[in-house]
A and B are shown apart, each in its own frame.
Chain A
Amino acid sequence: MMTRSQLKKFITEVVLLFILGAAIVIAGYFISQNNAEKRVQSEYHTRFDSVLDSYSYKKVKSKALEDFPEIDGVYIGYSATGIAEGYVIDLTVKSLSEQDLSMLVALDYESTRVVGLTLNPGNGENDYTISDSEMELIRETVIGRQIPIAFETEDSSEDDDASDKVAITGLHDGVYYAQRLFDDRNKYIDYVEMEVSNGVITKVKWDAFSTDKTNQDRSEASLRGAYEISGLDWATQSYNLCHALLECQNPDNLAMKSNGTTDIVDGVTCDIRPFVELAKECINNAKAGYDKDDYMNGINAMLTSLYDKNSEDLGYTNSDGHIVFSFEKTPEIYTIYNDDEVAVGVLEVRQIEAKIRGASDPSLSLPDAQDNGDASGNDISSGEYDYSEDGLTSGGDADEQIFTDSLDDLPMSEMASFIEPAPDCYEQTRTVVKACNTCYKFLKEYMNWKV
């Protein structure tokens, strides 16, 4: 068909054409890419300026997007110095009447608060329309809130008011304290300090001191890197957990699993068993009005019963006033045995003290109900605890709501903000909230909890 030389020449030409084509295309690509980038950025600017005014935007490519067909695009806005400022999410949600609402939601990068909301111009016949004035109202309610968002009315109307105000009633005001009676593997003794005012837990501190008095406390050690656990550093986890307790007011609400971890508190991966136990002890103490000083006395009483000396005499008091003593050598003093001499539980210090002193002290055995009225009358709005926290159940939720109630497939326990629907446009607000919550769901999957 063709002579060999002809074929050779031809193949050379083809190779040359190939190289030429590749050169043209690649060169063209890089020459035009700059233009393309500029054009795309200007396009983004025209689209997003109303919701998030950033220097540049970058589209997010993520597998997570595949699970969210309603999301048309997720963009991250950057400042001129390249710092991420926020997300812009372009999505289309179905309203309650199954109409399409296409809108842009802008979220703050750090706090995932809604910073901007705008409607995309409709592109189909099945559009859900929200008038400008309505949108203005909705903006007022929604902007500034952290996602996910739920309606106050929706949730609270369904619930018994009394049940969700204070998780645990009958707490006496004061500072309560509980510490473990034995140290852990790292020679730390956990303690929890809790402050109750108006029947509400207002301050919780979980830390641990070392039985080796020369060592730092655990939180300090973790911040300095001397104490390392998986996930965030222990101090932060402890802080988060304490805040979580502040919000939920009941250690049971922390949803501790059998292995001692919890899923519902962001950034807490450590074993929270000591905390939960100690917090419960504190709450019991609070119910009993058994405050920190009483507790210290209790421990001293234990020491005295065993060694006939109090902690100061024994030299177990450290500079912070904690009694640094592990009762591990004398487990009989705090262990509850059944009839077969098998350990079935642990006694609290208060109970031990009572046992030591004989069950004669009425303040220990009788629950003090005199502050009940105070506590129940104290209206603790869940909204007061918002914003600073990371998607935690608000304190207003009842225990049983955690897994049963949900909004937009999100458990109520995850809700970060609660709002009133904009006046006279419940459905519109509801649709916008749905959009916001869809954003939350996406971010949750995309960020893999690393908010």
Chain B
Amino acid sequence: MSNSSGKLAPYIHTEKSAPYIYMTYLAALVPCCVCSIFYYGLRAALLILFCMVTFVLADRFCGRLSGRRVTGDYFDISSLVSGMLIALMLPPDTTLLTALAAVVFASLITKQVFGGAGSNILNSACAGRLFVELAWPTNLQGFSYREANSRLALKSLIFQQEPFKLPDISQFSLAELVAGNYPGMIGTTCLICIVAGGIFLILKGSMRLYSPVSYVLTIVTLYPVATLIADKTFTYDGMIVYLLSSGAMFVAVFLLGDLTTMPSRFASGVFAGVVCGLLTLITKTFLSPVVSLLAPVLAVNFLSFVLDFFSKTLSRRKIRSREVDVS
């Protein structure tokens, strides 16, 4: 401690810096992007780029507005991640205006107001997506598919398309659902891509498995109960279709696996995952699919704040009681 000059220990540092973590996120989302561009073509690519760029700009703008000093060389890659996440959760026929609204909301309200990158207690991508879903539900119905879907079409980016009636997903074969060959949010359809991204994140240590695993397990175990209560019927096919097509896997991997907004401890992480799964199953009966998928994530984000606090208090109490015993 007396060594006032120079850096103090430790003198080595993991290669996992914050930008690196966010970059692994970007990398993990690459397969999903490929998927979206393959199926929806140029407009998906433009949508993703647009969201990323506007998110960065919005962050810069907000940062300047709030007068927070951002160190010059520090480029907040989390903006790119959030932008990409938002874009991947949009339907293919979303106008840039709607995307912009989502991005601005996410950046301004959920990120910068809480104090910038990492300080947000809510997942900004999730919040932004949910905001546009609630504000303009009709603007997010453009799922052009098959014949109506042209890879080069760009019109939908500017002009609001007619809401496209989604075909009954349950008619799709398993192969299609797994491969992502069905209409849905541009990046959330391909299970294998999502899982590949998830595995990459786990290998890079940029993701905690507690919440995602418990979330998926909760849905798998309680889906029969939920549907039996709601519809009096249950089929395994229905469950698999729901799990694959609703975007639940995407949410599990990329929203619940987030380091920043999810609890860091095992118990609270599992608890959060279970709660999120439960809320999704409950709200799915009376809310729109996207809302029932994303709103629980935000709820759990709030919860994780509280949860981490509680789990700490509990462990501290244990320490204290032991101290008492000793003395």
Contacts and interface: CB of A to CB of B under 8 A. Distances in A.
Contact of A32 (B32, B146, B171, B176): B176
B171 A35 contact: no
Interface of A: 1-3, 6, 10, 13-14, 17-18, 20-22, 24-29, 31-33, 35-36, 38-40, 43, 59, 61, 73
A131 B147 CA distance: 32
Given A2-B17, A28-B178, A22 B38 contact: yes
Nearest to A2: B20
Interface residues of B, number: 35
- Those 4 A-B pairs whose CB atoms lie nearest each other, nearest first: A28-B179, A21-B31, A21-B34, A35-B173
Nearest to B167: A43
A22 B34 contact: yes
Interface stretch (B81-89, B188-196, B245-253, B310-318): B188-196
B173 A14 contact: no
Contact of B181 (A3, A6, A22, A32): A32
23 contacts: A1-B73, A2-B15, A2-B19, A10-B23, A10-B27, A17-B28, A18-B31, A20-B31, A21-B31, A21-B35, A24-B179, A25-B35, A29-B181, A31-B175, A32-B175, A32-B176, A32-B179, A35-B173, A35-B176, A36-B176, A39-B176, A61-B147, A73-B147
Contacts, number: 99
Nearest to A13: B27
Interface in B285-301: none
Interface string B1-43: 0000000000000010101100100111011111100110000
A28 B191 CA distance: 10
Contacts of B197: 17
Given A1-B73, A28-B181, A29-B38, A21 B23 contact: no
A26 B38 contact: yes
Interface of B: 15, 17, 19-20, 23, 26-28, 30-35, 38-39, 73, 146-147, 167, 171-173, 175-176, 178-181, 190, 192-193, 196-197, 200
Contacts of B167: 43
Contacts of B190: 24-25, 28
A59 B148 CA distance: 10
Given A10-B27, A25-B31, 16 more contacts: A2-B15, A2-B17, A10-B20, A13-B27, A17-B27, A17-B31, A21-B35, A21-B193, A24-B35, A24-B193, A24-B196, A25-B39, A25-B180, A29-B38, A36-B176, A73-B147
Contact of A21 (B15, B17, B196): B196
Contact of A43 (B17, B39, B171, B180): B171
A368 B212 CA distance: 99
Given A14-B27, A29-B38, A29-B181, A21 B32 contact: yes
A170 to B, nearest CB: 58
Contacts of B181: 28-29, 32-33, 36
A21 B147 contact: no
A141 to B, nearest CB: 32
Contacts of A40: 146
